[in-house]
Chains A and B, each alone.
Chain A
């Protein structure tokens, strides 16, 4: 009990709470600017944490990352520019709602689901971190291969419109992911002699090019100053949240569970989680045809999954010192520096540090509610500022955002070229979101496949030799066959029906 009180006093003091508040403002800013990422924000905090105590230092990181992931959805909703690959899953959904004048409603439910997902993930972290980490450690190249294939398949499955176009868009992303030094052979591929391309293509400039540049070209190509997002005075942040929660609480719990589980896997993160959760949501929904047209249900599925994935990533980080994503990779360094070495012993420590850490997670997530609310209200600026002023400003943010990833002009070139290709694809009704997922997961699929083949001497059956691997593999194959199976079933029923006539 003393430990618990000690832990609480480490968090509930003016310094820590102030840090959490300031970090959440920083997180909102970084998340809302296209091109700045949560990972980058956390890396910038590291030198500051040198001067802080352990708990405020960790609080700053937790708050900034959680806040930035949510804030990425604000430009996503208003401008159709997603902040992270995870939010690319449902950017179409929330932008469609914004067009109907329901931007605040979309962001409100998003915020509540994000907070719920974050806290849900924390509770899992507190209760079953050690056993969950054991499960995560069972995942090897075979399992990661299937999981990534499952994520990719979901992106086609959930796309609206032509499946062939979604498939081609996905492959475009996968092709971009093969650029750079091949991990297996060390050979450069599609680098055209540019050293900057050897590390591969970062998804940030690509995402900016695909979504933002695309929007800018359409704006300057049209004569209209009219916004395609309307203001509706009855649109309120939280008013409809209780209704939605009553209807979709199952989606929220399911999304959070999927998010935490996948987030806890060191080789898979919030992005796969959001897409799979969205895909599962669509598959099980009673209103499948509503998905993609501005449907709250899809936002609930995916936004609860990506925030719980952020918490889930801490599971292997705390238990084994193995990062669950790029943010926890930085966190582990900070933990060591503060003498709080990750490992099973971290849960047995007697100074209340670990309780303080858990409490930080909960306070940071709760802090999202007021700060996020203020940010949503403030984001009315996107609507109030005339497009002719807003659009040039966005363009400049895009340029410096693309540059900021590697401090390299090559990334601005990349944004430009991909943006032009994406524009051509978009006017021909190709969906963009699968390409982002293809870029993020293409490498995961390839590297794990190659690595598995290398160690088994090219034995393809090894993908069905481990229990978890078999389960995932069967799930993927069922998903692929589901359109055929459904067709066959309908056919069979029709035949029966006509026979009975």
Chain B
């Protein structure tokens, strides 16, 4: 009898305790340091963005935000680590546009639906770059050259096969009613090798974000013919938009945002969303982004989720058209 009482008491108190813990988890959140998973290598642009937003978040949340790089598999490893984390709000991730492409390419099963969106913090539209001494003076020249080239006779580069700039550029050609097999995409490991190939005359055009081409533009080796954005970029006001030039509303680019695993507590998400928006607005973050020339764009949890949804459909279609679907 006595034993039972003790058992019951223990049971009751543990229920109370768990309840208490549960409420305090929301009320006092965050009460220990957070981890931010970055799916790309330390030292790159995404890593630097993550470390800056982590620093701004620390000021808002009053807790350390530790950045951990989980690289590998073209982003698969890091994004998988994010969705497999405990949904307690202490492990977040900096998701990148690959979330919308990897599963179409058959690299993984995870999609944007496996995440809890918290907020989008960056968007970089693709630019179209050619060598400074190339015969193409403007976007019209370039598109004409691609149209009239023999099939597969126009060489372009910027990322690996099925990378975001590959898909974005091909999507733009489709938008302009140019068959995708007019160009041949030379895969490259990132934008820098593509830029050197462009300057050494190995290829004819490169599509990357404008900041990635910045130093070569400033060195007078490369010129940017257009940027696929609704309005000109603040950091590069001389580059015309595709909307001005060919009246195209086509928009596919690279986004970055903060996400958590599925099944997070709504209050925790709300806390994080508010803190993230403040961190996004902070001087720390804004100054960094403008120094690097990276584009800033804010979407709250709901709008971020919608954007991923829409982008997923568009990119899926392009992957299909390019013949990379798996």
Pairwise interchain contact B161-A183, C-beta atoms closer than 8 A: yes
Known: A183-B187, A333-B48. A140 touches B197 (CB 8 A): yes
Q: Is A344 an interface residue (CB 8 A)?
A: yes
Residues of B within 8 A of A267 (CB): 193, 196
Judge if B85 is at the interface, Cβ distance under 8 Å: no
B74 and A181 contacting across the interface, CB-CB below 8 Å: yes
Q: Would A343 and B203 count as touching, CB distance under 8 A?
A: no
Partner of A320, one of B80, B221, B324: B221
From B38-46, B226-234, B264-272, give the one contacting chain A.
Answer: B38-46
Among residues of A, the one whose C-beta sits closest to the C-beta of B72 is A199
Residues of B within 8 A of A140 (CB): 196-197, 200-202
The count of residues in chain B whose C-beta lies closer than 8 Å to any C-beta of chain A is 55
In the complex, B87 has a CB within 8 A of chain A: no
Pick from A266, A321, A455: contact of B186, CB below 8 A. Answer: A455
What residues of A have a CB within 8 angstroms of the CB of B202 in the complex? 140-141, 455
Bound-state CA distance A265–B45 (Å) is: 22
* Complex CA distance for A341 and B219, rounded to whole angstroms: 10
A474 at the interface (CB under 8 A from B): no
Query: Are A323 and B70 closer than 8 Å at their CB atoms?
Result: no
Say whether A407 faces chain B, with CB atoms less than 8 Å apart: yes
* B residues 199-255 touching A (CB-CB < 8 Å): 199-203, 214-216, 218-221
Task: Return chain A residues, CB-CB under 8 Å to B92.
Answer: none
- Residues facing B in A138-170 (CB within 8 A) are 138-141
**In the docked arrangement, what's the CA distance between A320 and B47, Å?**
22
**Does A477 have its Cβ within 8 Å of any Cβ on chain B?**
no
Chain A positions within 8 Å of B67 at CB level: 47
| Cβ-defined contact, A320 with B216, below 8 A | yes
**Is B184 an interface residue when CB atoms closer than 8 A count as contact?**
yes
Kindly identify which residue among B161, B197, B288 contacts A337, using a CB–CB cutoff of 8 Å: B288
Known: A44-B42, A451-B188. A320 touches B219 (CB 8 A): yes
CB contact list, A340-361 vs B, under 8 A: 341-345
Whether B315 sits at the interface, judged by CB under 8 Å, is no
Answer yes or no: A42 CB below 8 A from chain B CBs: yes
Known: A47-B51, A343-B215. A407 touches B161 (CB 8 A): no
Complex: chain A residue closest to B105, CB-CB? A186
Contact B196 A266 (CB under 8 A): yes
Residue numbers in B under 8 Å from A455 (CB-CB): 155, 184, 186, 202-203
CB distance from B64 to the nearest CB of A (A): 12
- Distance of A39 Cα from B42 Cα, bound (Å): 9
Given contacts A321-B215, A406-B77, A408-B77, contact A333 B42 (CB under 8 A): no
A146 CB to nearest B CB, Å: 14
Q: Are A46 and B48 in contact (CB under 8 A)?
A: yes
Q: Give the size of the chain A interface in residues (CB under 8 angstroms).
A: 52
Which residues from A are CB-within-8-Å of B324? 186
Residue pair A406, B203 in contact (C-beta under 8 Å) = no
> Among the listed A181, A266, A321, which residue makes an inter-chain contact with B193, where contact means beta carbons less than 8 Å apart?
A266
**Nearest B residue (CB) for A336:** B292
B47 touches A43 (CB 8 A): yes
B70 interface neighbour in A321, A332, A408, Cβ under 8 Å: A408
**In-complex Cβ contact of A447 among B68, B189, B219 (8 A):** B189
CB distance from A46 to the nearest CB of B (A): 6
| Min CB gap A481→B, angstroms | 29
Instruction: Answer whether residue B182 sits at the interface, using C-beta atoms and an 8 A cutoff.
Output: no
Q: Is A319 an interface residue (CB 8 A)?
A: yes
B70–A184 touching, CB < 8 Å:
no
**Cβ-based interface call for B135 (8 A):** no
Main secondary structure of the interface of A (DSSP, over half): helix
Contact A199 B71 (CB under 8 A): yes
Encoded as 1 (CB less than 8 Å from any B CB) or 0, chain A from 106 to 126 comes to: 000000000000000000000
Is the Cβ of A139 less than 8 Å from the Cβ of B70? no
In this assembly, does B55 line the interface, its C-beta being within 8 Å of a C-beta of chain A? Answer: yes
- Decide yes or no whether B69 CB sits under 8 A from chain A: yes
Q: How far, in Å, is A237 (CB) from chain B's closest CB?
A: 34
Mark interface residues in B178-198 (1 if CB within 8 Å of A CB, else 0).
Answer: 000000101111001101110
Complex Cα spacing A183 to B107, Å: 14
Query: Are B76 and A195 in contact (CB-based, < 8 A)?
Result: yes
Interchain nearest-CB distance for A263 vs B (Å): 15
For residue A329, which residue of chain B has the nearest CB? B43
Q: Which chain B residues border A138 with CB–CB below 8 Å? A: 200
> In the complex, what residue of chain A is closest to B51 when comparing beta carbons?
A47
Of the candidates A188, A336, A344, the one having the most CB atoms from chain B within 10 angstroms of its own CB is: A336
Chain B neighbourhood of A407, CB < 8 A? 68-70
Out of B47, B52, B55, B200, which one reaches A139, CB within 8 Å?
B200
A461 within 8 A of B: no
B5: interface (CB < 8 Å) = no
* Chain B: minimal CB distance from A35 (Å): 15
The residue that A186 contacts in the complex, of B77, B161, B291, with Cβ under 8 A, is: B161
Min CB distance A40 to B, Å, is 7
| Contact residues, A313-333 vs B (CB, 8 A) | 316, 319-323, 326, 329-330, 332-333
A447 to B115, CA, bound (A): 35
With a CB–CB cut-off of 8 A, which chain A residues contact B70? 406-408
In the complex, 13 of the A-B residue pairs with CB atoms within 8 angstroms, ordered by the A residue number, are A43-B43, A139-B196, A140-B197, A141-B202, A181-B74, A183-B160, A183-B188, A184-B161, A196-B73, A198-B72, A199-B71, A333-B45, A455-B155
- Given A197-B73, A320-B215, A408-B72, 14 more A-B residue pairs with CB atoms under 8 Å apart are A43-B41, A46-B42, A137-B196, A181-B160, A184-B187, A188-B107, A198-B76, A266-B193, A321-B219, A333-B292, A337-B288, A339-B291, A447-B189, A454-B184
Q: Please provide the 8 A-B residue pairs with the shortest distance between their CB atoms, ordered closest to farther.
A: A321-B215, A198-B73, A43-B42, A330-B43, A186-B161, A199-B72, A140-B202, A343-B218
